[in-house]
Structure 1
Amino acid sequence: MTRSYLPGVFAMAAVVVASNILVQFLFGQWLTWGAFTYPIAFLVTDITNRVYGTGPARKVVFAGFIVGVICSLIGTQIMGEFGPLVTLRIAIGSGLAFLTAQLLDVSIFAALRNGAWWRAPLASTLIGASVDTALFFSIAFSATLTWIEPGNDVSWAGEMLPILGSGPVAPLWVSLAVADWGVKIGLALLALVPFRLIVGRLLRKEATAG
């Protein structure tokens, strides 16, 4: 059984590594390319949960968390134009958001497992993604949490601007969070298609092997 869900571990590791690299590259005004790869982590978790159960799904999550910590440690040693690519606040926010959101995803999926096939992956991803976004952006950029890393100047993220250029006025990081959340929600809906196809294939393979 362990060998069966190892591809999930490798897939999660690949998503985390790719997202940590792509987050350095902007996509438009509010996003980075990492915003489009990171939500795949929820798909990997949900597929593992459906096919192999909550235990293996949690192991896949913890594997992704460990890879994320390693990526953060490497990022702290790489200097960019304005300092280390990964600051303490970003590292804490990223790790805490990932672990909390993914484990929440696993629990919600398990609770809804016996419902319609789409309900568990959709609800768990929507809730998990929302928690992930809220935790990461508030920890990494909110002015109220500057005590976490006083030496890290994130005043740029507190610039008051209309949300996404046209909404109510709020700190810049709120616009970044809203844009990121929107991508996660959109991809959660699209991910139902590969979820259905991949789960069906894996379950048939498990039944044949059994």
Structure 2
Amino acid sequence: MKVRAGLAVAGYVASVIVANMMTASMGVWPVGFGLVATAGTAFAGASFVLRDVVQETAGRRVALVALAIACAVSALMATPALALASALAFGMAELLDMGVYTKLRKRGWVRAAAASNLIGAVVDTFVFLWVAGFPVTVLAVGGQLVGKGWATAVVVAPVLVARVVRYVWSRRVVSDNAVRG
């Protein structure tokens, strides 16, 4: 469990840092469908799921410490405006993410992660774009949300599929045993 928690923390911190580095060096780029997003959007989206994993494996306190470390390291690698925007956006979004995730966790990991990531992504998008000085347009907001949505889906979808397969398999085994019994 400690190895899993360590990997989750490392992945979470790295996702925040890489998101800021990519945005600082590449700015905005097209993501398809006429939408644009900051270059680090996918990594920012991944950070929400990874934060949930950190909370799950290491606890809320460790998740908050990891967020502080990621923001501090990012501040050293980005422009002052980008560092401030990132710290405010990640801080606000991750705290809301944590609140929603914690409240919904008893109803299942996938539900908690999907709902908390949606809230986090929306808050992160608006705060980051506005504070960093990027345009807050339908195309920019849409692009950010699409990118963050894909990042969440890449992690949440396999977990959901595995749970459905496990459920179907367990029902099949129970059914087979009932026929034999």
Identify whether the pair has TM-score above 0.5, normalized to the shorter chain: yes
Instruction: Report how many residues are paired.
Output: 155
Q: Alignment partner of 2:136: what SS?
A: helix
Question: TM-score w.r.t. structure 1 length?
Answer: 0.63
Higher relative contact order (CA 8 A, sep 6+): 2
Q: Alignment partner of 2:121: what SS?
A: helix
Structure 2 gap ranges (5+) = 162-181
Match of 2:149 among 185, 191, 203: 185
TM-superposed deviation, 1:46: 0.8
Q: Which structure shows the higher helix fraction?
A: 2
Cα gap change, 1:182/1:68 in structure 2, threshold over 3 Å: closer, same or farther? same
* Percent identity for Structure 1 against Structure 2: 25
Distance 2:5 2:65 in 1: 9
Structure 1 gap ranges (5+) = 73-85, 142-156, 158-171, 198-210
Given that residues 42 and 125 in structure 1 are in contact (C-alpha distance below 8 angstroms), is that contact kept between their aligned partners in structure 2?
A: yes
Q: Alignment partner of 1:30: what SS?
A: strand
Match of 2:136 among 166, 170, 173: 173
Given that residues 12 and 63 in structure 1 are in contact (C-alpha distance below 8 angstroms), is that contact kept between their aligned partners in structure 2?
A: no
Distance 2:101 2:77 in 1: 28
Please, what is the CA RMSD of the aligned residues?
2.6
Residue of structure 1 equivalent to 2:164: none
Question: TM-score w.r.t. structure 2 length?
Answer: 0.72
Given that residues 47 and 195 in structure 1 are in contact (C-alpha distance below 8 angstroms), is that contact kept between their aligned partners in structure 2?
A: no
Deviations 1:7-31 (A, max 9, x none): 2332123212322232223533723
Distance 2:152 2:6 in 1: 23
Cα gap change, 1:194/1:47 in structure 2, threshold over 3 Å: closer, same or farther? farther
Q: Alignment partner of 1:173: what SS?
A: coil
Residue of structure 2 equivalent to 1:145: none
Cα gap change, 1:189/1:27 in structure 2, threshold over 3 Å: closer, same or farther? same
